[in-house]
Each structure stands twice: as C-alpha cells, then as structure tokens.
Amino acid sequence: MSGGHHSTDSLHTPLDTRVHSIDATVKLVCLCGFLLAVVATPSRAVPAFSAYALLVAVAAVGARLPLKVLGRRLLIEIPFVVFALALPFTGSGPEREILGVSVSINGCWTAWSILAKATLGTAATVVLAWSTRVPDILHGLERLRCPRVITAIAAFMIRYLDVIVGQLHRLQVARLSRCDNPLWLWQGRAVAATAGTLFVRSFERGERVHRAMLARGFTGRLPTALTGREPLSWFPAAAWPCAAWAVALVAIMR
Amino acid sequence: MHIPDGFLDAQSSIAAGVVAIGATAASLRQAGRDTLESRAPMTGLVAAFVFSAQMLNFPVAGGTSGHLMGGLLAAVLVGPWLGALALTTVLVVQSLLFADGGVSALGLNVINMAFVPAFAGYGLFWLARRVLPASRIGVMTATAFAAFTSVVLAAAAFTLEFAIGGNGAAPVSTVAAAMLGVHVLIGVGEALITTLTVGAVLASRPDLIHGARGIEKQAQLSAVQA
C-alpha cells in the first residue's frame, strides 16, 4: 500500500451535482455492470476502450472530480503497472524488434489490456467514492442484500479507523522518542511490538465500545441503517452500463 | 497484491465472486450470525486494526518497502471465522472506497487474502499446535510456520487463478516462479512480524489470543513466579 490510505474523510467530497445525487444502490449496480463490460472486452478492441474512457470522463466531469485527485488516486495501481511492463519481455508468440529489443506482440497486447482495464476500473471506482457518502455506500450494499452483519462490521471499522490510525501514529512517535529506531532486520521487532500493542488497544477499545453500548440499552440487534425504501430511479445512471455493454458486445462480435 | 480490474477474464472473476460469497456465508454461519451481530463493534475494531497494521510500512533492501498482510495474524488472534470476516470487510472497503483492488476482482482478492490465510493458514496453525508443546514457544513456532505458508499459499492461489483466467498473458511457469520466488521472501517477513506480534500480545494479554487458548494459565503462573 502506497501510504495513500489515511482517512475516509478525504475520499468523499460533498458537492451538488447530478452524479452526487444518484442513489448509492444504483451507482453500485451500475459500477459493477460497467466494470464487467470493460473486463469482458477483448484487448485488441482499442476503440472500445476509448469509448469506456469517454464514459468515465463524462461521469468524472459530471461529478466535478479534479484531475489532480484522480491522478493521485490512480497511483494505487503501480504494482500491477510494473507487472504489466514486464509482460512484453516474458510473453510468448511472435516477436518483433523495437529499438533493438525483441518484444512479444502478445505480451504487448496483454500489457496494454491490463493497464487500460485497471486504469478504467480504478478511475470509475474513484468517481464512486468521490461522489458518494460512506454511509450511503453501506446502505446501498444493504439494499443489495449484503448481510447486515458485514455492513455493521464495516461501519464500525470505518468509524474507528481514524482513531486506530491516530493511535498507531502515537505509538510510533512514542517509540521514536524512546530512541527505538532500529535499522535492517531489527525493525521487525519494533514493528511487531507496535502491532501487538495496537491490537491489544484496538481490542480493548472494542470491548469498551461494546460495554458502553450495553449500558445505553443495546440488546444485540443493531438498528437498521435503512431510512426508507424509496423506489430507485435508474435514469440516467443506467446509461453507463448499457452503453458499455453495447460497446463490449460489438467488440466481442467483431 | 490487490488484483485490479481486468487482470483476469470476466468468467473467472465472476466464478471467484460466487466462491467468495459462499465462503463468507459459511463463515457467517460458523461465527454465529446472531451472536455476531452483538459482537459487530469488536469485529469492526479488529478489522480497523488489520487495516492500520497494513499501513506499517518498513523499508526492505533495494528501496522497496513491505507491509504486513495480516490474514493469518487476524485468524490466530480472533479465530478463523471472525478473522476471515474482518479481512473480507477490509478488502471490500479497500476496493470500494480506496479503489485498491478491482471491484470486479473482489472475489479473487477475498479468496487470496482473506480465505486462504484464514482457512488454509489457520488449519496448518492448528495442526502445528497439536504437534508442538502447549507453550509460548510452541504457539510462536506454529504461528511462524503458518504465517510463512499462508503467504506462499496465497501466491500459489494467485498463480492458479492466473493459469485459469489469465488468457495466457505470460507463461504460467514464469508467473509461478516469479510469484513464488518473491513470496517466499515476503513470507519470511510476514512470519517474522506475525510471530513477534503474537509474542507481544502473548506477553501482555495472552487471554485475548484465540489460537493460544489453553496456555494462558501457564503464562499467568510464570508471570507470577517471575
């Protein structure tokens, strides 16, 4: 992880756009439909990928997502970019000389496909996270029949994530101020001692939260996050997966 | 390695999603769906711990840095079912909110990073604990063995998925050699950190460790004697 994960606060930005106002349930379904179309597209259908990029761009512009934010959040796929860049040299099949180096043509296409699909997938997901509040995403997952226990665990995790990360930071500062800043393998011990303490503190915090909830009358049943079951309006969000599937089917048939 | 969208084909991504949903349902049943709801705060905090423990980067030779994956660690600390559920939650949140790991590849990532360590890894831990003496050293040795193996098994699962759904992007033998080679090294790091972390918890709150039940009495006795 490239250290980009710090807080869930920095992910969502409340704005008043058409994309922000789409129901989270609809957005989740449309995102999955769109991504499956992207993944199912053969790698040599370059025009199809341009069409997908245009669709993502329309959504990103509609949600007023700054290019800088998108660029920074795309950095997360770097490990697979490295993997993809190795493929032209390890791939099989016919080879061609480019700048005096022989590269596999199949390998090049696969590398292109991985880069294009991963970038489209990451960008589309960044638009979702940018334009949707976290409770709305959890609510959407619940409406899609995700077990309530999972969304409840996720809700507690997100609620306390900043606290635990802050605790981690304080543990590290405390360790450094004890002049405990080892190099090489001895770091392992320091990291592990920090992780061990962090676990004990997280667990004890969980116990305290649970006991506080019991004191406030928690009976073991969590209140549902559902406020209402208003019907979902699929227009215009459904245009994205439908357009993507139309493009994908044309690309597959050809 | 969080697999992004489009790394493997659509069929294998969907199949992996179905398997992951089944395994999650089984874990929910085993963890006790009803009691689990009352333990949601606890499990959520454990998930937050795994999430932040993965941020503990430490530089490895050559300018790269490694971090804990934490699958086996969570399973040893809170048991395989809760551990698998905590990791699944972490992966879902990482994928949907942080775009780390493709949404369409979520099933693959959940299998590799939640269920392989929690089920296969914890199974090996359990077997090792039966062979080894019921002591602090025994628990730590079993943890080291299972943590190392769980990382190698996760790499093997990735290679298998690549062989099925990778559309021959690269020779499977090359991918297998590269993945297993790299993950043997990562596994050593994971084993070291996981074992020392379990050791640190054993020293302070042995009663909290699910995988060390039965030895806390001895630990407390020796602490009193010391």
Structural domain boundaries in chain B? 10-225
Q: What mean pLDDT is predicted for residues A180-187?
A: 72
User: Shortest Cα distance from B120 to chain A (angstroms)?
Assistant: 22
Give tens-digit pLDDT for A117-157. Answer: 999 999 999 999 899 888 888 888 888 888 888 888 898 89
The three-state secondary structure class of A97 is strand
Give tens-digit pLDDT for A170-179. Answer: 998 998 898 8
User: Shortest Cα distance from B181 to chain A (angstroms)?
Assistant: 14
Is residue B91 over pLDDT 50?
yes
Give tens-digit pLDDT for A17-36. Answer: 888 888 888 999 999 999 99
Residues of A in Cβ contact (< 8 Å) with B79: none
**CATH fold for domain B10-225:** Arp2/3 complex 21 kDa subunit ARPC3 (1.10.1760)
Mean pLDDT, rounded, of chain A: 82
- Using alpha carbons, list the distances in angstroms from residue A161 to A164, B21, B52, B200: 5, 25, 7, 22
Give tens-digit pLDDT for A87-117. Answer: 777 666 676 767 667 777 777 888 888 889 9
Q: Name residues 119-158 of chain B within 8 A of A (Cβ).
A: none
Is there a contact between A206 and B13 if contact means CB atoms under 8 Å apart? no
Per-residue model confidence (pLDDT) at position B70: 86
Q: Name residues 90-119 of chain A within 8 A of B (Cβ).
A: 90-92, 106-107, 110, 113-114, 116-118
Per-residue model confidence (pLDDT) at position A31: 93
Residues of B in Cβ contact (< 8 Å) with A153: 40, 43-44, 47, 85-86, 89
Query: Closest-CA residue in chain A for B207?
Result: A200
Is residue B19 over pLDDT 80?
yes
Is residue A4 over pLDDT 50?
no
Give tens-digit pLDDT for A43-65. Answer: 888 899 999 999 999 999 988 88
**Pick from B5, B28, B197: CB nearest A149:** B28
Per-residue model confidence (pLDDT) at position B127: 94
Mean pLDDT, rounded, of chain B: 84
Q: What mean pLDDT is predicted for residues B20-28?
A: 91
Interface size, chain A vs chain B, as Cβ–Cβ contacts under 8 Å: 270
DSSP string, chain B: ----TTSS-HHHHHHHHHHHHHHHHHHHHHH-HHHHHHTHHHHHHHHHHHHHHTT--EE-GGG-EE----HHHHHHHH-HHHHHHHHHHHHHHHHHHH--S-STTHHHHHIIIIIIIIIIIHHHHHHHHHHS-SSHHHHHHHHHHHHHHHHHHHHHHHHHHHHHHSTTSS-HHHHHHHHHHHHHHHHHHHHHHHHHHHHHHHHH-GGG-GGGTTSHHHHHHHHHH-
Per-residue model confidence (pLDDT) at position A3: 40
Is there a contact between A11 and B97 if contact means CB atoms under 8 Å apart? yes
Is residue B112 over pLDDT 80?
yes
Quote the percentage of chain B above a pLDDT of 90. Answer: 28
**Pick from A137, A154, A199: CB nearest B89:** A154
User: Tell me, what's the ipTM?
Assistant: 0.85
Give tens-digit pLDDT for B27-60. Answer: 888 887 667 777 788 888 888 988 888 877 665 5
Give tens-digit pLDDT for A212-223. Answer: 988 988 876 766
Quote the percentage of chain B above a pLDDT of 70. Answer: 87
Per-residue model confidence (pLDDT) at position A12: 75
Per-residue model confidence (pLDDT) at position A2: 37
